[in-house]
Structure 1
Amino acid sequence: MLLGETPDLRFVAKPAGIPCFPPHGNPTGDCVLARLVGTFPDQAQPFPPGFEGGIAHRLDTLTSGFLVVARSPAALERVREEWPALRKFYRFRCSAQPPFGTQVLTTPIANHARRADRVVVQRWPQERHRGPWLPAWTRLRSLGEGWWEAEIRTGVRHQIRAHAASVGLPLDGDVLYGGVPGSAPTLVHVAISGATWSFALEDGMLPAAR
């Protein structure tokens, strides 16, 4: 589970298919938090609501890669202060071949008007939605052979999946956003970089299996 650590932070593996926190209606269900405190009992110390276990951010259930975990409330506060300025990098697969190699998207994102399991990108002012429009910044870059890099500077739910799909790059297997049916979608959190610290997966990939 542990990929690396500093005196203030731990970087822990997050497999695809495992939520960060207990599923709704199942407080004892399998999740990264339960595995984390089972492996590192000191992470069970009190942290602010929403950051239990010192988990400093969230990843969608289907996303794999790594999570940043603070080892103390003071460390968590410092990480959260830095968070907006940190650069976060992901990789995903898409079989589509758009007429561009790089694209920056700044269209806001909100919850879907009728479906609780997805979000919608604001393509026009009258776009139907539920709740507020949230600012979102995503840069997409082709890595070749169907692989893409996504850099985000915000953290909206389903941000990469929705932004990529809005420009014709749905993740392979992500049928919720128009992806080609087949194997489970591949979306991996591979690196994070800031002014004072950074971390990256050595091979840029973690297995999707549990």
Structure 2
Amino acid sequence: MFDADRIGAIVIGASAGGVEALNQLLPALPKTFAPPVLVVVHVRQGQPSLLPGLFAARCELVIEEPFDKDEIAPGTVYFAPPGYHMLVESEDGAAPAIALSVDPPVRFSRPSVDVLFESAAHAYGARLLGIVLSGANDDGARGARAIRDAGGACWAQDPATAPAPAMPLAAIAQGAVNEVLTLDDMAMRLSRCIGRQP
């Protein structure tokens, strides 16, 4: 069961077809949206990502490409930089922060959805929502399972609506997904995660 009041952070993984999905989800979030949103999209390494600029022009929330050790702020969307794994660090008594890593690719990807999801599950536990969007491989399935095992919740894009359904199908096959939703349903439910002052 989705409880908007308990969500402390949201992690999203996407690959082929995922930018189009994000373009339905992120602009729908109001400026009062409370949880931070951390996003991994499989992008080509060796060149700057255009995604932060693209979404900054379309979204009411703050859009960032973070630096290592940046403290995670509410109501902010963080896109993993090309060529870096993006993790959540959480030390006793300290606010969660971004960690960037150049460790080897996972499932042929750096950034890796699994790496983000697993580290965020450790940091946020039952207060984490993971979302697996369109993509052409199984990155994110293992991380989604880690979120479920930590007490969090996971959604997958309805594979019938995904240009590349392999990523949500893999998460579903892992038994890691609480609900399979259309993008419209996701956007409607996410709009309930509010609480910051404008």
Max radius of gyration: which structure?
1
Fold shared by both chains (TM-score > 0.5): no
- Choose between structure 1 and 2: higher helix proportion: 2
TM-score of the aligned structures, taking structure 1 as reference length:
0.27
